[in-house]
Structure 1
Amino acid sequence: MHRWNLTSLPHHTDDLFQDQLHDMMGHKFRVVALRHFPFMDYQPVSDEPGGPIIPKDCLDTRFITTFAAKLNFTYEMHEQREKQWGVPTDGKFNGMMGELQREETDFCMIAAPTPERLQVTEYSRGYPSTELIIVSLKPTVLPEYLALIRPFAGDLWFALLGSVVAWALLLWVLERAWRWVARGSGVKFNTALLYGWGALLEQPPRDLSVSVSGQMLVGWWLVFCLVISTAFRSSLIAHLTVQGKSPTLETFQDLLDKDVWKWGTERWLLSGVPLEYFSKHFDPVVQQIYKRMEILPVDEALSNVKKGGFSFLTFREYVSIIIASRYTDSLGNTPFYVSKTSVSMMAAFGWGTRKGAPFYPRFSQLMSLLEDAGITAYWKADVRVRRVRENRAAAALDTQANQMYTQQVDRRQVVLGLGQLQGAFYLLFLGCGISFLTLLRENLVHSHSPPQ
């Protein structure tokens, strides 16, 4: 605590324990870590579980290197034997939290606080946590022959069909009542139906209703047709000029709503706070996601995503580096879509420290100073850029490999072609086919009917 010699004068002891950790005099700490880039990364010295590791350039490595130079200490770092962050069982933790609880190590690298962990360890907040996101294949282009029916939703089309039939039936009933009371001319049901259909297409027949009640009904029907046709025409122009795409997957509910859809994650992700989140959550949606979760490596998961019908659940910071390194060309095109909606499972990331460690306040103070000065955010962005650049240089990524998943659209001028309007021709062929079948039916009925 103080360096004295026999010939020096006695020192004052009032500040005996003040600032005693500004200089740790070369003390060696034992540190445990797990890989989670960009926060922590390392190279194992051997294949032995729990063996020593050599830290690589990452956020935590820059932290501990700065602290060691500032506070004059050394450290030896080893990998967690079970490669788990730690979950409690009857108050006893496994993984890194278990080593801290048993005081087998001084502190650990990246970790997240939970109420159970804070009972057995101290926590130094270092940087904001990363969110859980959904990685899926980019939205596919919708079929162009459906552009004619895409302006309206399915329930609206059924409502329109029902409105035409109901209005024609009401007009037919009113004209029948007028004919019964005033002995006037009536309207056939098929005539009323064709009139309603023609008005909806802005081509109503010339035959108008004779009764005032019928004319009032026709007038309001024309107003209704004006609103519907205007809305359809404006929406149709947009769908013909801009190609529609399938909806994106943003939430867990979107995954469950998909038919025969699968999803998965990596094993290491379900070894700490995420495991507690999924296993203890009361929401039935989260329970279904966890129940049907597949466990597979990241390369296999992203390969399944590219095939379609599969989504990958992982952390945003972690997967963004992999996608930028291996699956993105020089123009920024990638076959993957990362959900904008995310799930925050942890309040923050930082270092876990054994209970009662005297260096804990000093570490927390230095981490807060680095974050307040903007150094933490700068380091995190810098290590991401450096790692992506290194990975792309090592893999010699083909810049044209993923352009097949994207399509450059010239938004200055769109010339409609047969592809955009093929739906109209399909409707024409369908109508001609139905007319031909109707003609055959009329001929058959006429040929079998007795002569008059």
Structure 2
Amino acid sequence: MRGALNGSSNCLKIGIAWWEPMINAHRHQGVTIATGSMKPVFDMIAGKLGMCQEYVLPPNGFYGIIQEDGSWDGMMGQLTRREVDLVTMLTLGANRAQYVDFSEVMFMDDQTIIYTRPQLKSDLAGFTRPFTGHVSLIQVFSSGVFNLDVHLSSPLRVVCGVWLLMALILSTVYRSNLKAMLIAPIYRLPFNNVRELAESSILRGVSGGTMAHRSIEEAPADSVLGSLREHWTVHNDIPRGIRDLRAGRLAIIGSSLALKNIIHNTFSQPAPASTSKYLVRTRKKNTRILSLCSSQTRTCPYYLMDEPFLAATIVGLGFPKNSTLKPLVDNVIRQLKEFGIIDYLRFQSLTGYDICLTDQGYHNILRPLNLADFYGTFCVYAAGLVLTAAVFLLEVLHRLFRHSA
């Protein structure tokens, strides 16, 4: 092994690439400074080994792609060239395992997709939603068919009474359902699985060199996963990708932890003073969190697919082949896992996502009715008034014609 165990240095050289909220780095006065919820893990590893730490950013800032000549760029290139002792937070893959050694499994992750939630808008045809077309026809028929001036026998009166009672029940249920749907409308997501996304024209974005990038790039063209390449963009400009996501121009494919962090950060950001406050339902397990930020506006504008398209991916640290440092670090990782420290660090920075997941975004908003919600009903009333006036006018003209005749 190079570095401290070879006597050339007493510091671990650690390659690092962006993976919020787990690990990130920035340059300050010529020194690379690491941040993120997993930073304490590397502090404890270095402390156990009695070494200092030196973080090294890859030249292109990302994980790395294998080149035509068989070499790697990015963080994987640092490992294969033995420029670093280990690298942070690497997802295990068959192609990577041929070139580097992986540590003890730190945790399991999955690959999923994030996109902007649809905006709730007033529905002009909302008054037709509570019942299906057949039930609506029965309701209309039952409300008006027996409003006739005819003499009915006793059995028919019983039938009419039962029928009108059913009409009353249907009308009452209709009003209740209509009010509920207007206040808390059901909205349809643009997509909720990979096939629906592939059939849409939504642009898909993925960071180069990641597990999601390789999986889509290597998938057959006629497969569902391969069809995502028809409308996709590959780049590592994370701020630009998040801006495009916020504007609804891009669906981001990647690690669920990184995407959950986007939801958490959006939820935790203070809103402008002019923004109206949302009322979040207080639940016992969220009372402490909500009490800390009740004076700020909280929104959940994004959603994740219900099912990941790549589940149970293994995350660990990467080492150069046959590194003598690996068994020492594995021992530290096992101890941290046994005490639950890694899981605690992994989830402590995602409280905002937990609240969004609990209340499902729009379901935590008390939405008052506005005038636009009744436009459809107003149109029906207006049409009824016009029709009634037309019938009345025809009756008047008919009577005048009879008198004149």
TM exceeding 0.5: yes
Question: Do 1:133 and 1:342's aligned partners in 2 also have CA atoms closer than 8 Å?
Answer: no
Q: 1:95-134 alignment to 2 at 5 Å?
A: 95=73, 96-124=75-103, 125-129=105-109, 131-134=111-114
1:337 aligns with 2:302: yes
1:113 CA displacement: 0.2
- CA change 1:119–1:207 in 2 (3 A) is farther
Question: Do 1:136 and 1:312's aligned partners in 2 also have CA atoms closer than 8 Å?
Answer: no
Q: 1:192-341 alignment to 2 at 5 Å?
A: 197-199=140-142, 203=146, 205=148, 232-240=174-182, 242-244=183-185, 246-249=187-190, 251-252=192-193, 253-255=195-197, 262-265=202-205, 269-282=207-220, 284-294=223-233, 297-308=237-248, 311-314=251-254, 315-324=258-267, 326=269, 330=293, 331-334=296-299, 336-339=301-304, 341=306
- Between the aligned partners of 2:365 and 2:48, the Cα distance in structure 1 is 52
Q: Per-residue displacement from partner, 1:110-139 (whole Å, max 9, x unpaired)?
A: 210012212221111223336433131463
Greater Rg, structure 1 or structure 2?
1
Identity across matched positions, percent: 16
Instruction: Indicate which of 341, 347, 353 corresponds to 2:319.
Output: 353
Structure 2 unpaired stretches of 5+: 273-292, 352-361, 399-404
Structure 1 unpaired stretches of 5+: 1-21, 47-51, 165-195, 386-404, 446-451
For 1:378, the equivalent position in structure 2 comes to 344
Instruction: Indicate which of 70, 86, 89 corresponds to 1:92.
Output: 70
For 2:278, the equivalent position in structure 1 comes to none
1:97 CA displacement: 2.4
1:279 CA displacement: 1.8
Q: Per-residue displacement from partner, 1:51-95 (whole Å, max 9, x unpaired)?
A: x85232334432222222211234543221233323345793523
- Between the aligned partners of 1:418 and 1:108, the Cα distance in structure 2 is 58
Q: Specify the code of the residue in structure 2 equivalent to 1:62.
A: P
1:313 CA displacement: 4.2
- Between the aligned partners of 2:45 and 2:370, the Cα distance in structure 1 is 66
Instruction: Indicate which of 351, 366, 378 corresponds to 1:409.
Output: 366
Number of aligned positions between the proteins: 357
- Between the aligned partners of 1:326 and 1:299, the Cα distance in structure 2 is 15
Question: What's the RMSD between the two structures over aligned residues?
Answer: 4.7
- Between the aligned partners of 1:280 and 1:133, the Cα distance in structure 2 is 18
- Between the aligned partners of 1:224 and 1:204, the Cα distance in structure 2 is 15
- CA change 1:93–1:342 in 2 (3 A) is farther
Question: Do 2:204 and 2:253's aligned partners in 1 also have CA atoms closer than 8 Å?
Answer: yes
- CA change 1:119–1:439 in 2 (3 A) is same
- Between the aligned partners of 1:421 and 1:104, the Cα distance in structure 2 is 67
Question: Do 1:123 and 1:350's aligned partners in 2 also have CA atoms closer than 8 Å?
Answer: yes
SS of the equivalent of 2:366 reads coil
SS of the equivalent of 1:129 reads strand
Question: Do 1:139 and 1:245's aligned partners in 2 also have CA atoms closer than 8 Å?
Answer: no
Which stretch shifts more, 432-441 or 132-141? Answer: 432-441
- Between the aligned partners of 1:59 and 1:101, the Cα distance in structure 2 is 27
- Between the aligned partners of 2:245 and 2:394, the Cα distance in structure 1 is 51
SS of the equivalent of 2:35 reads coil
1:222 CA displacement: 8.3
- CA change 1:337–1:272 in 2 (3 A) is closer
- Between the aligned partners of 2:364 and 2:175, the Cα distance in structure 1 is 27
Instruction: Indicate which of 7, 15, 40 corresponds to 2:23.
Output: 40
1:236 CA displacement: 2.4
Instruction: Indicate which of 367, 380, 387 corresponds to 1:427.
Output: 380
- Between the aligned partners of 1:263 and 1:100, the Cα distance in structure 2 is 33
1:369 aligns with 2:335: yes
- Give TM-score, length-normalised by structure 1: 0.61
Q: 1:380-399 alignment to 2 at 5 Å?
A: 380-381=346-347
- Between the aligned partners of 1:99 and 1:204, the Cα distance in structure 2 is 85
- Between the aligned partners of 2:66 and 2:24, the Cα distance in structure 1 is 25
Question: Do 1:142 and 1:243's aligned partners in 2 also have CA atoms closer than 8 Å?
Answer: no
Q: Specify the code of the residue in structure 2 equivalent to 1:33.
A: I
- Between the aligned partners of 1:104 and 1:225, the Cα distance in structure 2 is 80
- CA change 1:436–1:300 in 2 (3 A) is farther
Q: Specify the code of the residue in structure 1 equivalent to 2:109.
A: S
Instruction: Indicate which of 81, 85, 92 corresponds to 2:59.
Output: 81
Q: 1:130-145 alignment to 2 at 5 Å?
A: 131-137=111-117, 139-143=119-123, 145=124
- Between the aligned partners of 1:92 and 1:203, the Cα distance in structure 2 is 83
SS of the equivalent of 2:92 reads coil
- CA change 1:235–1:93 in 2 (3 A) is farther
Q: Per-residue displacement from partner, 1:275-297 (whole Å, max 9, x unpaired)?
A: 11222335754334332124574
